[in-house]
Chain A
Amino acid sequence: MYALVDCDNCYVSCERVFNPRLEGKAVVVLSNNDGCVVARSPEAKALGVPEGLPFYQLAERFPGKEIHVLSSNYTLYGDMSARVMSLLRASAPDIFIYSIDEAFLTLPESEYVYFNPKTWGETLAAKVKRWTGMPVSIGVAPTKTLAKVASKFAKRYPGYRKCCVIDNDERRKKALSLFPIADVWGIGRRTANRLEAAGIRTALDFTRLSAESVRNAMTITGLRTWMELHGRDCITLDHLPRKQAICTSRSFPKMQTTREELAVPLSSFAARCAAKLRHEHSMAQYVTVFISTNPFRDDLAQSSINHTVALPAPASSDPEITAAALKALDACFREGFQWKRAAVIVSGTVPEDELQTSFLDIPVELKMKHTKLSAVADKVNKRLGDETLLLACAMRATDLETGKATTFRDSILHARRSPFYTTEIRDIIEVL
């Protein structure tokens, strides 16, 4: 049996824990740079605010409506997610964290009489809510796809007390007959349209197709979904995306045109990727740089390019990853475009302790220096704030009056971001 635990409106719920006056109000959270709506409270959904709506259209499209608008606070969401995941891990040790707000847990089989999944789920949801303030919905079923279906029911109907269990054929059929095919995990928008055009509206309709016809029309992936909906467990964790690559990407507040302008944010992204690698004690073998123009500006020349550089040996230090990223930028940069978005992706990760045995032909002394330097930078930045210590190429300019460097981070717009309530001592809540 699997349990899918899903945080209800994750970003909005995080904000509400520290700002309870947002409870019951329409709330939206914006993407980086306050670009567009990435998260909505149920009240905002009820008003008809669509996901992805550009921020500037919000006031135009919903005049006179009380909608609370917040910049995204990924530091807060990440910390709250880590708290939730830690509680989930304690309740069922076999956990697969699927995204910031979802995790699959493996449970004992339903024949195991001493375990009641319904009671377990209700208790767990109540505990997570009380301990962290995060509301979660739990779906329990013999397959991951059915667990996803069950979690949607748990979320939609309060009668389930946050946990819905699909553990027999009668419940399975009933649930699937009420479940739109477009909402099934693994069924894309285009496939759903095709199925609906053929009169297949619910998940139950879909399960009534023959295996052959599903396989012919939708390949093996569609067939897996079909089998899972029949209660046959066949999507293993290998089919799900795993952490093999780490990506840092942002869109720019202003479009960038020169190689030098791009080098600053890319150096910053590279250092961020390197810090993430070090945090999980791994090293990368490849560094990819990706840059693209604004697809919504039809009036401008469009381009989207990337280039990958192989490192001489696996690395995780700021200097090594940044140098590779800048090398990749030089290899692919072209004049004449207004660049809107960039990313640095590090891939081919290996555990850092493997380095000691398998790469003895590299200059070990230099490598050790880089490793020490990065360890010091991590400590300083942890104590004094991100980017206190950074490579000079990640600096845009130095303020002559204050002597403080301005970096890419300073240019990101987040005018409406909430404080870092859980991770910065100066930002903790104040009580009267």
Chain B
Amino acid sequence: MNNEVEFLTIEVEAEMKLPYYPEGIRAGFPSPATDYEEEAIDLNRELIRHREATFYARVKGDSMIDAGIHPGDLLIVDRALEPKHGDIVVAFVGGEEDGFTIKELDLSERERGRVWLVPHNSAYERIQITPEQSSVIWGVVTYCIHSSLRHG
């Protein structure tokens, strides 16, 4: 692989984190607030179970609107989870109009070799996915973040 610059020196963060002192280290009495610095709710910690396998996606269509998934919503996608029957998944569907899609996974006919992607909107048809069209289940949607503000 070409050593072109930037990542010549990449080093993933070590497991053990060292404390960082943006104010510099000073002698004397420390600020009483420093003890509480770590205590904040971190949504990364709450919503992300597998950091390395987590990716984000933006909903563009309305095919899942009856499941409460709206255009503009932010999805947290976890590729580490084994996709199960009934999961909401992001899939890549090959063929003529290829692209990423969000649907409910239907494995009830898996025995007969059929895997379905089911929309939650009566205006859409379910999609059968086949390995021949190089379609894949890309990841399992763990959270859908929807803004409830009515005005921007």
Which A residues contact B (CB, under 8 angstroms)? 10-11, 20-21, 23-24, 31-32, 38-39, 51, 72, 74, 77-78, 81-87, 89, 97, 99-101, 130-133, 243, 246-250, 276, 280-281, 343, 356, 368, 371-372, 375, 421-422, 425, 428-432
Contacts and interface: CB of A to CB of B under 8 A. Distances in A.
Given A38-B4, A281-B18, A428-B57, A131 B52 contact: yes
A81 B56 contact: no
B15 interface: yes
Contacts of A82: 10, 12
Contact of A356 (B25, B55, B74, B138): B25
B105 interface: no
Given A431-B58, A431-B75, A32 B99 contact: no
B81 to A, nearest CB: 9
A248 B15 contact: no
How many of chain B's residues touch chain A, expressed as a range? 35 or more
Contact of A432 (B15, B22, B51, B60): B60
A432 B58 contact: no
Interface string B46-66: 000011110111111101000
Most chain A CB neighbours (cut-off 10 Å) among B5, B53, B58, B79: B5
Interface in B112-152: 134, 136, 138
Contacts, number: 125
Given A86-B12, A432-B63, A131 B4 contact: no
Given A97-B11, A100-B1, A86 B22 contact: no
B100 A430 contact: yes
A32 B52 CA distance: 27
B9 A247 contact: yes
Contacts of A101: 1
A290 to B, nearest CB: 12
Nearest to A247: B8
Contacts of B44: none
A131 B53 CA distance: 5
